[in-house]
């Protein structure tokens, strides 16, 4: 559907990284973009740069998100906000599990609940869920993150069934490693963290993910781009590990 057929967009986690890049791209396409994030200072800078309308709201603040979605009919929703607390379930704590479930899953469910019915009624709309390769592949140390992203992946498929018969499209974007500041948010902003995750690697940029989102949105109305997995060329997800037991059974 041409961008001209859409008027409004909501982007969560919009203050930096993929969210900010998506706001910039959608504003450039002529949409009235509402940027939602916790950081009022970064949002103000983004608004000055792009002309977007900002909302300094925690995505897990259901009352505030509900008010916003009742005030505005969103044609495009990009559920981008996400957090991580690395660690296996053996070392997980209550706070970390609740945080990831609240931001990565519960907020997405509620935003879809609040916006999809209007899209169905108007026979027009597009929901983009930013998932992760962690939704489909296992790698060590992120049990809760894997679980929440896998749920978002299944939700994305289910939304198309819920909207069946209407011109409402749903796209799941599954990034691998992208050169953003998410690693600083998770592991701390240090030279060691940048060297471990970013420096020296050939990585997609936030703008690359925003361009993929724009591609899906601008596809002809008869086309639903349901799933995109975007990884560095030099990154391969998956693998198989096998070990011998330390104490074989007799």
Catalytic residues: 145
Find out whether 201 and 234 touch, Cβ atoms under 8 Å. yes
Residue 168: strand pairing partners: 125
Find out whether 38 and 12 touch, Cβ atoms under 8 Å. no
What tokens appear for 169 in the block? 């499209």
206 three-class SS: helix
Identify the helix (H) or strand (E) that includes residue 123. none
Residues 210/197/229/241 CA torsion (nearest 10 deg): -170
DSSP 23-91: HHHHHHTT-EEEEEES-HHHHHHHHHHH--EEEE--TT-HHHHHHHHHH---SEEEE-------B-TTT
Residue 171: strand pairing partners: 128
φ, ψ (nearest 5 deg) of residue 28: -65, -25
CA distance 95 to 100: 9
**In the structure, how many helices (H) and strands (E) does the chain have?**
9, 7
């Amino acid at each position: 559907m041409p961008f001209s057929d859409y008027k409004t967009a909501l982007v969560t986690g919009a203050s930096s990284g993929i969210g900010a890049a998506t706001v910039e791209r959608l504003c450039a396409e002529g949409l009235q973009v509402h940027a939602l994030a916790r950081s009022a200072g970064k949002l103000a800078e983004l608004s000055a740069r792009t002309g977007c309308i900002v909302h300094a709201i925690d995505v897990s603040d259901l009352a505030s998100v509900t008010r916003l979605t009742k005030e505005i009919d969103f044609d495009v929703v990009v559920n981008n906000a996400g957090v991580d607390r690395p660690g296996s379930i053996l070392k997980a704590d209550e706070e970390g599990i609740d945080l990831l479930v609240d931001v990565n899953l519960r907020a997405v469910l509620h935003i879809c609940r609040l916006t999809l019915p209007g899209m169905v009624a108007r026979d027009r709309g597009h929901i983009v869920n930013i998932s992760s390769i962690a939704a489909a592949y296992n790698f060590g140390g992120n049990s809760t993150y894997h679980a929440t992203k896998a749920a978002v992946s299944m939700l994305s498929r289910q939304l198309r069934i819920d909207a069946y018969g209407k011109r409402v499209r749903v796209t799941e974007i599954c990034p691998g490693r992208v050169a953003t500041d998410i690693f600083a948010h998770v592991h701390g902003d240090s030279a060691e963290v940048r060297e471990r995750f970013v420096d020296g690697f050939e990585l997609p940029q936030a703008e690359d993910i925003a361009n993929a989102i724009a591609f899906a949105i601008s596809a002809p109305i008869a086309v639903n781009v349901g799933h995109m997995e975007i990884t560095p060329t030099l990154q391969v997800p998956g693998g198989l590990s096998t070990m011998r037991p330390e104490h074989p059974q007799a």
